[in-house]
Amino acid sequence: MTQFNPNLMIRRLKVVKSGKAVFDEYFHRGLNIIRGQNSSGKSTIMDFLYFALGGDVEKGHWREAAASCDSVIVEISANSRIVTLMREVEEASFQPMRVFYGTIAEADNANLGAWETYPFKRGKKESFSQVLFRFLGLPEIEYGEANSRLTMNQVLRLIYSDQMSSVERIFRSVSFDLAITRQAVGDLLCGAYSDAYYKALLRRRDVVAALQQVRSSIQFLIKSHKRDGRPITIEWIEAEGGRLEKEIAETNKRIEEIEREIFDAEFTDRLSLNDQETAYSRVVALQEKVGAAEENITRLSLQIADTDKYTASIEHKLDQLNQSNSVVESIGGLAFDFCPSCFAPVEDHAVEEGCNLCKSSHNAEETRKRVLKLINEYARQRDRANNVQTERRAELRARKSELEELKGLWKNAGKHYETALRTPTSEMRSRLRELNRQAGYLYREQEELVFFRSVVEEMSALSKERESFESELNHLDATIDHEKGKQVARLALARTEIEREILGFLHQDLARQITFEGAKEVSFEFDADRLSVNGESFFSASSMAYLRNSFFASFLLAAANDEGFLHPRLLIMDTVEDKGMEPERSMNFQRLLRDKSQNAKSPHQIIIATSMIAPELDNPDYTVGEAYTHENKTLDIA
C-alpha cells in the first residue's frame, strides 16, 4: 500500500491529571472505534484528540471532566515521522504547544529541556501551526486582503466532526468565522494549491513591494534634483562640467596674470596660508573617508559572499535531510557476505539494529527524529540568513553610492589645493581676492556636479532594478495564471471524486430518505458552508447528520484514493449516531466505513465514537480501549 502525503496518524493518546495518566490508549491504521454507553466520556476523548493536534477550545467549552485534567499528550506519525505533542488544559483560548522529537515513552524519560515550545499565534517566534505544516509538507497558505494564514485549528474543522456543531453546516463551528477562510481550507485540502503557485504568489508580493519602493525612490530623486524644471541627466552633467572647467581655466589664467603684476611690482606681501591649510585639511579628511568607505564595502562584500555560501550549504543540507529519511526507510541497513576490502567471508555475528560488518549499533527511528529536528532548525536558520542578506545588499548599494560621491569630492579638493599652493593673495589687491572667491564658487559647483553624478548613477542602478523586477513580475504573473488554471481543474476533479464517494454512502443507506435513494447530484459549498442533494438542503435531523457524516468520510476516502489531495488522511468523527440516529442505520454506516477503508489505496486513519457498535466490529482489530460504562468511564479520575 503506497502512502500518500500529507499523512497524519494518531499513535497514542495520553491524558494526565495530578501526574497520573487517566487515559492512555494506542490507536492503529484504518478504522478505530471508541465505544461505550452514552455519557461515558467518549466525546471527551474526541475533544482531547482535536485539542492535542492544535485545535482551539474556547473558554467555557471544556466538559467538566476534561477541564479537571492538567495536560494532554499525543504521539503522532507525520508523514511517517514520529513526533509527540503536548498541550496544557486551560480555560483560556490559544494555548501553546510543546513538541518532542520522539515517542511518548521516550518523552517520559526526557527532561523538560528536550521539548520545544511554540505559541498558538505567529509572532517573533514560529507558531506550532507553522511547525506542523512543515512536518506534513503543507504550504503556509495566505488568503484575503489581510494576508492571513491558515492554521491547524482551521484545517481541523474539516477533519473533526463534533456533536456541538450544526448538522446543517459542513465546518466545525467557531467564533469569527469567515467565508474566505472556509474556502481557503476547502481548496487546500482538495489539493488546489500547487507549490509553484504558492511560491510564485509569495514572491510576487515581495517583488511588488520592492518594485514600488524602487519606483518611489526614482520619483523622489527626479523631483528632488531638477534644474530649470528638467530632470538631471548625464548629458547635462557633462555639459556643465565642460563649462565649469572652461571658466575655472579662464579664472586661474587671470589670477596668474595678476600674480605676475604683483611680482613685477615687487610687492613682498603674501596672502595668508589659511586657504592652503584649509584646502589641505579637506583633502586629508576626504581621503580618510574614501578609505573608510572602501573598507566598509570590502567588509560587506565578504560578509555577503560568506552568507551566500552559508545559505547554499543550508539548502544543500535541507535537501539531504529530506532525502535521508526516505533512504533510511527504503534501504535500511546493508548486509555483506564478504568483506569489501579483503573479500574474506563475513561471519554472521548479528548485532541487533547494528551493522553486520563493523558490528556498530544504529537506530533508524532515532535517525529519523534527528533528521526532523534538524530540518526544522535549518529552515529557521535559512530564513534568518536571507533577511540579513537583504539588509546587507541594501547597505552595500548605499555604501557604493557614497564612495563615488566621496571620490569626486576628494578629486576636486585636490585640484583646489593645487590651486591654493600657487595662488598668493594680497590684501592690497581686492581684484585678486574677488577672483579667488569666484574660483571657490566654481569649485563648489564642481563638487555639486559630483553629487549630481552619484544621483544619476543611483537612478541608473534603480532603473536597472526596476526593469529586472518588472521582468520577474511578468514571469510570476504568467506562472500564477498557469498554475491557477491547473488548480481550477484540480478542484473540479477533487469535487467530483468526493461527490462520487458521498453518492455511494447515500445509495447504500437504509431506506429512510427518498431523496438519498435517488440521489444523482451532491453539492457542497465551502464558503457558504452548506450541503445539498439534488438541489435540496432540508431533511430530517437524522438524515442531515447522515449526509454530513457521509461528506466527512467521503472527503477522507477520496484523499486516501487520490494522492493529489492535501488532506492529511485523518478523520475524527463523533456524530455517527447524532440527532436520533437509529441503531440499524448507524451500524450500517459503520460497516460502510469499514469496507471502504479496507479498499482504500493509501494508509489512513478513521476514529469514531459510538454507543451502538456493529457486533462484527466489536473486536480489537477495530476497537480502542475498553467498552466504557457509567461506572468505568474513559477518564479514570474517580
Tens digit of pLDDT for each residue in 144-181?
656 678 999 999 999 999 988 898 999 998 888 888 88
d(C-alpha 257, C-alpha 250), whole Å: 11
- Over residues 547-590, the pLDDT tens digits come to 999 999 999 999 999 999 999 999 999 989 878 889 999 999 99
Question: Is the confidence at residue 423, as pLDDT, over 50?
Answer: no
276-308 pLDDT, tens per residue? 678 788 888 888 888 888 888 898 889 888 888
Instruction: Tell me the three cell numbers of residue 162.
Output: 463534533
Find the angle CA(405)-CA(283)-CA(396) to the nearest 5 degrees. 30
- Of all residues in the chain, what percent carry a pLDDT higher than 90? 47
pLDDT recorded at residue 56:
94
Q: Please state, for a pLDDT cut of 70, what percent of the chain lies above it.
A: 83
**Residues 347, 285: Cα–Cα separation, whole Å:** 79
Pairwise CA distance, residues 63 & 15, whole Å: 14
pLDDT at 522: 96
pLDDT at 342 > cutoff 50: yes
pLDDT of residue 601: 96
- Is the pTM higher than 0.85? The answer reads no
Grid cell listed for 299: 567588509
Mean pLDDT of the chain: 85
Residue of higher predicted confidence among 254 and 285: 285
| Cα 584 to Cα 462: distance, rounded to the nearest angstrom | 73
Q: Can you give the pLDDT at residue 393?
A: 84
Q: Please choose, from the candidates 223, 76, 198, the residue with its C-alpha nearest in 3D space to the C-alpha of residue 138.
A: 198
Q: What is the pLDDT of residue 427?
A: 42
What pLDDT was estimated at residue 400? 86
Q: Which amino acid is at 240?
A: E
